[in-house]
Amino acid sequence: MGTTTTPDEWPPNAEFPFDLFVWKKHKAFWDAGNIQFTDSFGNLFFRVDRGQSSDSSAHSQKLILDASDNTLIRLVPLVKGLWQGFMVNDTEEKELMFSVNRTLNTFTTLEFDIFLGDGLGEGKEADLKMKGSAFKRSCTIYKGNSIVAEVYYDQPYAHTWIPEAFHSKEQISSNHISRFC
């Protein structure tokens, strides 16, 4: 009479909007500082830190770590304006997750093309586009004409003791959430 669905099909393409707050610790002369992403309750979601490597060519790599300090993604610069993100398992690069190519770099505007998987190549269209402004402290990530995520400077925090508070709104689909649960 009725159709049944398996647990893998439910909820179908549901999106869960959620807020992340971005905090940048100020650099001290002995520390490079890092960026932390927390939820609205202040729980650490993940952080970006400088990679520790004995290889001098990897001095500018970045690591995305979860709340338990497990490395999730290693960001590696290739040439000026081009980065690759690798999924990491026990400090070994497992697979290429994405490539980022800077397409515009002016005083007021930055634009990036993001290619998921091994999609970077001549004539290929970007899966995501990121447009932002360091001057305005904001950026928006697009998939086609749809906004996937926004980051903007949260003005209520501008006059408090936390000057580097940013607010981020993401739309994440249920199949992406299941990968992290």
**DSSP alpha helix (H) spans, the chain:** 174-180
Paired tokens of 27:
């650099």
DSSP 107: S
Residues 11, 177: contact at Cβ < 8 Å?
no
Residue 127: the pLDDT is 92
User: 19-24+31-170, superfamily in CATH?
Assistant: LURP1-related (2.40.160.200)
**Residue 16: which H helix or E strand, with range?**
strand 15-24
Q: How many CB atoms lie within 10 A of CB 150?
A: 16
Give pLDDT tens digits along the chain (181 positions). 555 545 555 445 556 667 777 777 666 555 556 788 888 888 888 888 876 655 555 557 888 899 898 888 889 998 888 999 998 876 566 788 999 999 988 888 999 999 998 877 777 899 999 999 877 778 888 999 988 888 777 655 444 334 444 445 555 444 443 343 3
Tell me the C-alpha distance between 47 and 37, whole Å. Answer: 6
Nearest to residue 119, comparing CAs of 88, 95, 146?
95
Write down the pTM of the prediction.
Answer: 0.67
Q: Give the dihedral sign, CA 168/133/146/112.
A: negative
Residue 57: the pLDDT is 53
Residues 138, 153: contact at Cβ < 8 Å?
yes
